[in-house]
């Protein structure tokens, strides 16, 4: 029996060859497809079939601390017209997710208060590759 150890320091988000820094506490990366991979169909007598969904679009949500230097990097990309590449590399378990021709869905909501807040950046990935 072996014990696996997860270390958040070994999980990186790379945007156009730049590693993002200054993540918020808690869940700081979320990778998800827009739609299910398959749609089930059940016939009148219970026969089950499935249709493969060709839509591979997805989103990578990155939550940064308000004081993160990576906010300015993503802000410039959000204002620009060019698309970019993004990769989530988990060296803990050897998984990689991401894609090319990505863009920022919208600038994050800005909150200001007594304490440092968070900035949630949603990156749209037209063909999201997920390698578990």
Burial of 61 (0-12, 13-18, 19+ CB in 10 A): middle
Is residue 102, in this structure, part of any structural domain at all? yes
Is residue 2, in this structure, part of any structural domain at all? no
Is residue 3, in this structure, part of any structural domain at all? no
Domain span at residue 48 reads 8-131
pLDDT in tens, 66-78: 999 999 999 999 9
pLDDT in tens, 25-50: 999 999 999 999 999 999 999 999 99
CA 113, CA 101: separation in Å to the nearest integer? 35
Tokens found for residue 78:
């959000």
**Containing H/E element for 88?**
strand 84-90
CATH of the domain at 13: 2.40.30
Task: Give, for all 132 residues of the chain, the pLDDT tens digit.
Answer: 788 899 999 999 999 999 999 999 999 999 999 999 999 999 999 999 999 999 999 999 999 999 999 999 999 999 999 999 999 999 999 999 999 999 999 999 999 999 999 999 999 999 999 997
Number of separate domains in the chain: 1
Is residue 20, in this structure, part of any structural domain at all? yes
What confidence score (pLDDT) does residue 2 get? 85
């Amino acid at each position: 029996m072996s014990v696996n150890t997860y270390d958040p320091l070994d999980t990186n988000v790379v945007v156009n060859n730049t590693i993002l820094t200054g993540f918020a506490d808690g869940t700081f990366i979320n990778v998800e497809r827009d739609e299910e991979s398959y749609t089930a169909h059940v016939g009148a007598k219970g026969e089950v079939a499935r249709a493969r969904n060709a839509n591979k679009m997805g989103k990578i949500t990155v939550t940064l601390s308000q004081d993160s230097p990576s906010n300015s990097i993503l802000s410039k990309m959000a204002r620009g017209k060019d698309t970019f590449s993004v990769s989530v590399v988990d060296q803990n378990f050897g998984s990689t997710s991401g894609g090319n021709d990505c863009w920022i869905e919208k600038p994050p909501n800005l909150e200001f208060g007594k304490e440092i807040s968070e900035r949630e950046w949603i990156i749209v990935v037209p063909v999201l590759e997920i390698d578990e």
